[in-house]
């Protein structure tokens, strides 16, 4: 099964406006539509307004949100709902990034609601799952991945489009990437669970991204695996040349 690779840059809470605008311009300009590879930028929220207002056609580069509220509209100070994100051109939303889980105490049950909220608003949820170092060392990795995956997808209707991102917490922002073999083991496990929980057809079309210190020098080896359908990139997405080099690695892997 050929799945379109997704190369997604998660800017997190970076960078300041001037740098962000030029980073966006550089990436969007370089990203012509490429068969087999989709490019996505996931910036802090104010940039969505900027991208939407820029009027510049960016057919090769979409944008998404790092999070969304479980609510749609109303008296929810500080929250941003899926419908508003759609109005500003977002097409994807991350759900349950480990920083949301750890720093903002997001539970699997909240992730379940956010996955459904994204889908209902017409966004494609990217459900992030991943074990901590202690969980890996304690042989709890598969249990954690299974729980995060199954609870997160529990309310999502059959046939809905979604993406999974495997991000081992110990590899995020640490420079310690999972080896291709470690990543492949987790991806195969997740794919098997998707078959069991969502059926063969959905499991076959669903992309599973790897995230955690993806850099230009390790991207090709990771993307070579048949079950790794793209990358979620933090640090390296803040440098246009690095991000585009990873995208080039994805293009080469489908060529
Ligand atoms: P990193 O972040 O590439 O800086 O490790 C990945 C992520 O958190 O999505």
> 102: pLDDT confidence band, cut at 50, 70 and 90?
very high
Atom of ligand 1 at shortest range from CA of 233: 3
- Is the minimum distance from the CB of 8 to ligand 1 under 6 angstroms? no
For residue 199, what are the contacts with CB-CB under 8 A and spacing of at least 6? 158
| Ligand 1, pocket-test mutation among 99, 163, 167, 218, most atoms within 8 A of CB | 167
Phi, psi values for residue 96, rounded to 5° = 70, 30
Ligand 1 atom 9 nearest Cα: 234
For residues 230 and 33, give the distance between their C-alpha atoms in angstroms, rounded to a whole number: 16
Ligand 1 atom nearest 215 alpha carbon: 3
CB of 228 sitting under 6 A from ligand 1: no
Helix (H) / strand (E) containing 165: strand 163-166
How many angstroms does the Cα of residue 183 sit away from the middle of ligand 1? 14
How remote is the CA of residue 172 from the centroid of ligand 1, in Å?
A: 5
Q: Please write the tens of the pLDDT for every residue from 124-175.
A: 999 999 999 999 999 999 999 999 999 999 999 999 999 999 999 999 989 8
pLDDT tens-digit series, residues 167-178: 999 999 898 999
User: Is the shortest distance between the CB of 212 and ligand 1 below 6 Å?
Assistant: yes
| Catalytic residue numbers, as ranges | 97, 167
Residue nearest (by alpha carbon) to ligand 1 atom 2: 234
pLDDT for the residue numbered 194: 98
CA distance 142 to 136: 9
Judge if pTM exceeds 0.95. yes
pLDDT digits (tens, 9 = 90+) for 23-36: 999 999 898 888 99
What pLDDT does residue 56 have?
A: 59
First to last CA, the chain: 15
The answer to whether the CB of 40 is under 6 A from ligand 1 is no
67 lines ligand 1 (CB under 6 A): no
Ligand 1 centroid to Cα of residue 12, in Å, is 9
């Amino acid at each position: 099964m050929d799945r379109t690779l997704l190369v997604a840059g998660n800017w997190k809470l970076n960078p300041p406006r001037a740098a962000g605008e030029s980073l966006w311009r550089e990436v969007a300009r370089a990203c012509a539509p490429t068969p087999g590879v989709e490019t996505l930028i996931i910036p802090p929220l104010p940039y969505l307004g900027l991208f939407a207002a820029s009027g510049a056609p960016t057919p090769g580069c979409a944008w998404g949100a790092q999070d969304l509220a479980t609510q749609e509209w109303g008296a929810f100070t500080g929250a941003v709902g899926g419908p508003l994100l759609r109005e500003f051109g977002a097409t994807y939303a991350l759900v349950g990034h480990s920083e949301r889980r750890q720093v903002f105490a997001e539970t699997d049950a909240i992730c379940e609601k956010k996955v459904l909220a994204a889908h209902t608003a017409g966004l494609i949820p990217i459900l992030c799952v991943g074990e901590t170092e202690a969980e890996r060392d304690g042989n709890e990795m598969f249990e954690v991945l299974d729980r995060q995956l199954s609870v997160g997808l529990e309310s999502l209707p059959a046939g809905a489009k979604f993406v999974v991102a495997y991000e081992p917490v110990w590899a995020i922002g640490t420079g310690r990437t999972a080896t291709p073999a470690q990543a492949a083991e987790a991806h195969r496990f997740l794919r098997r669970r998707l078959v069991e929980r969502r059926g063969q057809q959905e499991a076959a079309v669903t992309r599973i991204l790897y995230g955690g210190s993806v850099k230009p020098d390790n991207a090709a080896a990771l993307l070579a695996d048949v079950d790794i359908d793209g990358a979620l990139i933090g640090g390296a997405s803040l440098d246009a040349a690095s991000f585009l080099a990873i995208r080039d690695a994805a293009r080469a892997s489908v060529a």
